[in-house]
Chains A and B, each alone.
Chain A
Amino acid sequence: MPELSSDQFDKLTRKIYSELGLQFEENKGYFLQKCVEKRMEKLGFDDPQKYLFMLCYADPDGVEMQALANLITTNETYMFREYEQLAAFADYCLPEVLSAKEARAEHTLRIWSAGCASGEEAYTLAIILREVFPQSQFWNCEIVATDIDQNVLNQAARARYGSRSVHEVPPEYMARHLIAHGDSYTVRPSTANLVRLEHLNLHDRIAMRAMKNFDFVFCRNVLIYFDDRSRKMVVDHFYNALNPGGYVFLGHSESVGRISTAFKLRRFGTHLVYVKE
């Protein structure tokens, strides 16, 4: 199976960015190569040139693009996933929003974890809040975690995870926020009680319009599985759900700007974040 040439790699990453809003750096070349090879094998292509042409010009409903997307996005979920992005949230965005609220004597903070699945992200945000913002116990703080699947919501309600889910949790936080029972870990009630679980279908526009007054929306590695139009609709709803000055976080390689230009891009060091002005 011939390797992707530099030119083909460029074309492929542009196409992926254009269709899925996902950015791939050159150091992911080998990984992309392997995913493309799998798809080519499955479909019986032996020439990357032909596969690329099909992807760009003969995939009208985006079916192949989606199949490739499923391969190039890793579905595993665990706490403190995409640490760098969470650091940008904790170090820059959260303090900025909190001090603006303090100046207005507003003591409410609302965060939405959209497509929360089994809840790792929501509880991660809860830990961050308790750590970075101890005042949270005196404010009216809430992390609303929503998902369309009632089964995973039930799982999230137990707030109990195996060691794979917690391997990225900073050690100091483990003792403070997680209770160990042998091989499993439960989030301490004093942290977990920040999270409120709710059933919600991101495609349900009436339910989505009811989501309002959030300061942060997290929807990471969920929208890659949506088609163009739905993805845009969901992000437009996030815009309306946010207070002015609020931030939206998609997955690290997902480009908000590609989906909607209503948000403004801000840079904190090497981190890119998107804000509703």
Chain B
Amino acid sequence: MIELDEHIGKLESADEAERIYAAEDIGYANRAEGVPPLLERLPAESSRAVREAIFAALENIEDDAVIQGAIRLLRSDDSFLRNQAVDLLRSRGPRVIASLSLAFPEADSDQRKLILDVLASVDGPGTSGIYERALADSDVNVVITAVESLGNARKTEFRAHIEEAVGAWHPMLTGACLEALAQIGNAHSLEVIRSHAAGSVADFLLPSYLKVLGAHGEESDVAEAAGMLDSRGAHLHAPILDAIAMLRQRHPSALLPESLVDPLERIVRIGNSPILRRQALHLLEGLTKQEGVVEFLAAWQPRLENDGA
């Protein structure tokens, strides 16, 4: 079509605005012939604005050549192009799964990770195959990415697989497994984790462990979390309170130990975030039988509501 050729020609214009309009118009034309010139222009194009316009245009063209072009771009040395390619593939939705499935085995470890990044936002039949391969990947980054996605997407069918990986040699993989099990695990998962921890969970894994505790622990586990409030650093207060709050939500009759009053009052007074302080206040409402708590609550509730200081 003559008009399309005109626009394609303008992709080389010296004027930045013209190149942007050209890319936009090729996008609006929504024809397969527009795809190769857009992709070919990318490496030579120095303007960020034009590059963005090219990707916006590609998003508008429904042809599958866009999917193939985007998968090729995953190999680019240019991080901007790689990231845009991931976004482009995400915008296509489940249609990309088949092509990604084919590309996965041939891809290098960086590309495999990027393919998983796409799948983090795209769901549909066919993803399980990719995830299974990814969980057995030789590159631990790929495995970690897969575990994280599976947890976020609540794919409970992979629970056993992830429980097995908890004892991994790589601490970041262990951490990823804990985070995922907080979402898709159960009481058994907590047991598995404890058996690997052999008594003490490493400090930097504690927040993730606490999430699992909160999500799948029993009434009696409140004491374990509460005990950490005094012994651990202030940066752990948020995950500890989150865990206690979650346990109470799931077990409303769970008793809070008296020993919590002092640390909770301290957090209300000097906690490092308004949310944390409100959460501590909320938990104190479960301790009104203790001396002084009712008065403390009366003094502090008005100060902390309404995003007050």
Contact = CB atoms under 8 A, between A and B. Distances in A.
A236 B239 contact: no
Sorting the interface of chain A by its residue count into under 10, 10 to 19, 20 to 34 or 35 or more gives 20 to 34
Contact of B305 (A30, A53, A233, A236): A30
A179 B261 CA distance: 60
Given A229-B59, A236-B56, A6 B242 contact: yes
Describe A's contact surface by its main secondary structure: helix
Contact of B279 (A6, A239, A261): A6
Contacts of B152: 56-57
What size tier do the contact residues of chain B reach? 35 or more
A6 B283 CA distance: 14
Interface string A124-136: 0000000000000
A6 B56 CA distance: 35
A6 B234 CA distance: 14
A205 B305 contact: no
A5 B274 CA distance: 11
Interface stretch (A21-29, A80-88, A106-114): A21-29
A31 B305 CA distance: 10
B212 interface: no
A6 B48 contact: no
Contact of A7 (B17, B123, B242): B242
Given A236-B49, A261-B52, A7 B211 contact: yes
Contacts of B28: 205
B52 A262 contact: yes
Contacts of A29: 273-275, 278, 307
Interface in A10-64: 26-31, 53, 56-57
A276 B239 CA distance: 42
A236 B20 contact: yes
Contacts of A233: 56
B245 interface: yes
B241 interface: yes
Interface in A196-237: 205, 209, 229, 232-233, 236
B21 interface: yes
B306 interface: yes
18 contacts: A2-B249, A6-B238, A6-B276, A7-B211, A26-B273, A26-B274, A28-B307, A29-B273, A29-B278, A29-B307, A57-B152, A232-B56, A236-B20, A236-B24, A236-B49, A236-B52, A261-B52, A261-B80
